[in-house]
Amino acid sequence: MAKTRFINPLLQRTEEESAKPMAPAAVAPPMDTKPALAPAPPPSPDLAAAAGGPEASVKFTFYFAPEQLRRLDDLWLRAKLQHRARLNKSEFVRLALDRLMEEFDQDPKAVLEDLGRHRA
C-alpha cells in the first residue's frame, strides 16, 4: 500500500512519476540570425527626477513586530481620514527609512545605540 503524503498542488508534477521521459525533439527550432539589439541602459536617478517622476520601486520583504504594523495601520488610517492624505503604507515606511539613514549619517553611534536597545 502506497504511503499518502501531502503535495502542494502548485508544486505538483504534471506527469506521473513512473512516466517515461519524453524523447528530445528531432529538430531544433531555427535560430534567429538577426543581430540582437543591446538593451537600453536604465535611466539615471537624475533623469527620473528631471522627468518629474520618482525612481521605480523595488519590492522587498522585511519583518515587523505586530505592534509596529498595528501602529502603521493606525497612522495610515488617521492620515487618510483626518488629513485626507492619499498615501500608502509603503510611503510612510520609505520616509522613515530615509530619516533613519540621514540620522545615521549625522550620528551613527546614537542610531546604533538605539538599535541595540530595540533588539531585545
**Residues 67-93: tens digit of each pLDDT:** 999 999 999 999 999 999 899 999 999
Alpha-helical segments (H) within the chain: 45-50, 66-82, 89-106, 108-119
pLDDT at 20: 53
Nearest to 64 by CA among 75, 52, 80: 75
Model pTM score: 0.52
Residue 50 above 60 pLDDT? no
DSSP state of 60: -
Contact 48, 55 (CB under 8 A): yes
How confident is the model at residue 69, as a pLDDT?
96
Give residue 119's pLDDT.
77
Task: Using alpha carbons, select from 21, 67, 8, 116 the residue that is nearest to residue 75.
Answer: 67
What is the arithmetic mean of pLDDT over 17-41?
Answer: 56
Name, of 12-16, 40-44, 99-103, the range with top average pLDDT: 99-103
Q: What is the pLDDT of residue 76?
A: 94
In the predicted model, what is the mean pLDDT of the chain? 76
48: Cα separation from own chain's centroid: 20
Whether residue 7 is predicted with pLDDT greater than 70 in this model: the reply is no
